[in-house]
Structure 1
Amino acid sequence: MNRYETLKLFDYSIYISSLDRFDYTEQTQKCIINTLNQYSYIIAEKDEYFKKVLVESDLLLPDGIGIVGATKILKGRKIKKIAGADLHKHLLEQLNAVAGSCFYLGSSQETLDGIKKRLAIEYPAIRVGVYSPPFKKQFNDDDNDRMINDINDFNPDVLFVGMTAPKQEKWVYAHKHRLNVKVICSIGAVFDFYSETVRRPGKFWINMGLEWFIRLVREPIHLWKRYILYGPVFIYHVYKEKLLIVLNKNSN
């Protein structure tokens, strides 16, 4: 993956190239794509296995204004946020152009039906498979076998996984060697956004860096901890790291 430009932030190698440089048809090896935001960063600081999963991603996208801001403060680099929704759209356009196939694993059957309905209109050349796993905290071996077999029987070019973090990333990491897919992406809320069961904030708010705020206003019970609690904690981590950088520079 060294053909893409990355930047070291904390313990992670963040993808900072344009998505236009990524073409799934050129992948000769399995590619696992995850995203990093302030929420997943804080969770990973308390969950060593999740941190390992993120660190070992083939591509780790800067999905959040917090990561973009941290990169500016700590590295002096201005980078562009790449959301899971951006990755999803990029891959769908590529798949449609070559009549490729994709599979959606996660969410409810209602959401998956909404995705298929919209894809049929916007990307009619794509062959689509879906599977709604049982709603439970932890899958058993039978659950995992069923999901893996359904995916491999369909034989997609791209697998989209939407089970919320960190469950989705951990599941992919644990089973990636059994999945016969070129590209695997954990994209969480994108399933709801694309099916329109949850409305994503408009481009104005996204371009202003305030997508998080509009989502918080709309879903305060679901998202308050992510932004109100973990936001200040993430800022603390950023400026703690900045202080260490300054002290090390002065000591040298």
Structure 2
Amino acid sequence: MHLLGYSIATDYPNLPPRHKIIINTINPHSYCEAKKDKYFFQALKSSDVLLPDGVGIVWAAKFLKGKRIQKIAGADIHQRLLEIANANQQKIFYLGAAQNTLNLIAARIKKEYPNIKVASFSPPYKPAFSQEDSEKMISSVNNFQPDILFVGMTAPKQEKWVHAHKDSLDVNVITSIGAVFDFYAGTVKRSHPIWIKLGLEWLPRLLQEPKRLWRRNFISTPLFIKSVLHAKLKN
């Protein structure tokens, strides 16, 4: 479904693919950021699958297209891919986050999905990676030869890095899921399912991390609504 200049998926992708597939997510904040960042826009635009990770995108689809679509968060696609990997005895790789977080993820994977082989790499914490950094990251992934690569380095850095290096990564499925690393590791608590069902997953997170998340809720959300209303008037 084409919405606000993007081709947005209305359901989970059919997997496993016959070729490399890049899965990203979009929400009102990332939409607004992509309007200011051309390379981020290109990264989202070139996604093989772009999932609606936000009630704002779900609302826009209904308001502009009259279509009801399902919100599919990064945590949802993460779980779906883990189930597929476990059923097919596949290998997965986590790229991003601190080593302690990665260790907690590996321990949980071993317990919940025993058929999965897992490896990881914690890249340096910096605003931008050097060529040497990226080469180490790519080598770590390719040496393990995973079926699925999860990237968690916050948006838009993670999507832009994947877009720049996807041709060098020897893996079938690549998806950027940001905060899901911390959710799954248990180092950050995801909103209760009741809040998620009500379409208010953002509220508890905002209360937990107001300094980091206030901009996306009080600046990006109104700007997104303005864009949607403008698109409606154009039609």
Normalization by structure 1: what TM-score?
Answer: 0.92
- 2:18 counterpart residue number: 28
Q: Secondary structure at the match of 1:125?
A: coil
User: Is 2:225 the counterpart of 1:235?
Assistant: yes
Distance 2:27 2:167 in 1: 26
Q: Deviation digits for residues 9-49 of structure 1, max 9, x if unmatched?
A: 011000002x2x5222xx11100000010011000001111
Q: 1:56 offset after TM fit, Å?
A: 0.7
The answer on 1:214 being equivalent to 2:204 is yes
**2:126 aligned residue (132, 136, 149):** 136
Quick one: distance in 1 between partners of 2:15 and 2:43? 23
Alignment partner of 1:160: what SS? strand
**2:7 maps to what in 1?**
13
- Deviation, structure 1 residue 233: 1.0
Which of the residues 42, 45, 51 maps onto 1:61?
A: 51
AA of the residue aligned to 1:115: I
**1:29 alignment partner, SS class:** coil
Give the aligned partner of residue 90 of structure 1: 80
Aligned residues: 235
Rounded to whole Å, the distance in 2 between the matches of 1:147 and 1:52 is 22
Q: Which moved more, 1:175-184 or 1:212-221?
A: 212-221
Equivalent position amino acid for 1:15 in 2: A
Q: 1:106 corresponds to which residue?
A: 96
Cα deviation for residue 66 of structure 1 reads 0.7
User: Which 4+ stretches in 1 moved above 3 angstroms?
Assistant: none
Equivalent of residue 191 in structure 2, options 188, 195, 201: 201
Unpaired stretches in structure 1, ≥5 consecutive residues: 1-6, 246-252
Uncovered stretches (5+) of structure 2, i.e. residues with no partner? none
2:109 aligned residue (119, 141, 153): 119
Residue 219 of structure 1: CA displacement? Answer: 1.2
DSSP 3-state at the match of 2:171 = coil
CA distance in 1, matches of 2:230, 2:204: 28
Give the equivalent residue in structure 2 for 1:170. 160
Q: Alpha-carbon deviations, 1:135-194, whole Å to 9, x = none?
A: 011111110110000100000000000001110000001000110000000000100100
AA at the equivalent of 2:29: Y
Compute the displacement of 1:231 (Å): 1.0
Pick the aligned partner of 2:148 from 148, 152, 158: 158
What are the within-5 Å matches in structure 2 for residues 172-187 of structure 1? 172-187=162-177
Structure 2 distance, partners of 1:204, 1:22, is 28
How far off is 1:76 after superposition?
Answer: 0.8
Identity of aligned residues (%): 53
Cα distance in 2 for residues equivalent to 1:49 and 1:221: 26
Superposed displacement of residue 110, structure 1: 1.1
Q: Provide the rounded CA distance (Å) in 2 between the counterparts of 1:129 and 1:234.
A: 38
Q: Which residue of 2 aligns with 1:3?
A: none
Q: Could you say what secondary structure the match of 1:130 adopts?
A: strand
Q: Which letter does structure 2 place at the counterpart of 1:53?
A: A
> Residue type matched to 1:109 in 2?
Q
CA distance in 1, matches of 2:126, 2:32: 23
Alignment pair present for 1:71 and 2:65: no
RMSD: 0.8
